[in-house]
Every structure is written in structure tokens, then in C-alpha cells.
Amino acid sequence: MDREGGDVRLSFGNKKVMKEFLAPNAAERVSHLTKIYKILKDKGVPNVDTLDNSEGNHVFLSPTGWDVWPNSGSEAFEAMVCMLNALKVCYDISVLFIV
């Protein structure tokens, strides 16, 4: 699956996602993403993907959660709480503002 603009390609496996950067600044983008995921891990941000590995212009991610739609309002609410918890920690450590 190519991202709009054609600078990123996503490939989905059973339990992993490969993100391939195709732009000329691919190495810089992989390095930046690796730094962000390290901060997320070091700070214990809940409910986020895990960066398993990076090679060249590729990163390999392990998604968190289930690939299903909520069956009820309470499940949707629980999913929103998980996302908000992650955003709160990210905001607290200013990871949302890393350029």
C-alpha cells in the first residue's frame, strides 16, 4: 500500500508492518522515526506500536491492539481511553513536538 505522494510504502504481514521510505531523505526519516520510538519505549508510553528493527530505508513495526471494530459503545469508549492515555504521556514528554 503506497501512501499518498508515493514517498512511503506499507506492507502488512500477519503480525508485523514494514514501512519503506522511498524519498531521497529515507535514511534521515528512518533515523528520526527510530529516535521517536526509542523515546516512546523509554518513557513507557502505553498503547503504541513497537519498532522491532530498522534496516536501510525500512522499519519493522509490531502493532498494538486488535484489528476489529468495536462491538459496542463501551468497547469504543475503552479504545478512546487507550488512545488518550498514550497521547497524554506523549504530550507530557513533548514527543508530539519533536521535529
| Closest of 5, 11, 14 to residue 57, by C-alpha | 11
What is the per-residue pLDDT across 9-63, written as a single tens digit (0 to 9) for each? 988 888 899 999 999 999 999 999 998 898 888 888 888 889 999 999 999 999 8
* Higher-scoring residue by pLDDT: 35, 1: 35
Question: Per mean pLDDT, which range of 34-38, 73-77, 88-92 is the poorest?
Answer: 88-92
What is the per-residue pLDDT across 21-34, written as a single tens digit (0 to 9) for each? 999 999 999 999 99
- CA dist 85 and 46 (Å) reads 7
Residue 99: pLDDT band by 50, 70, 90 thresholds?
very low
- Residue spans per domain, the chain: 8-97
Backbone angles phi, psi at 33, to 5 degrees: -65, -40
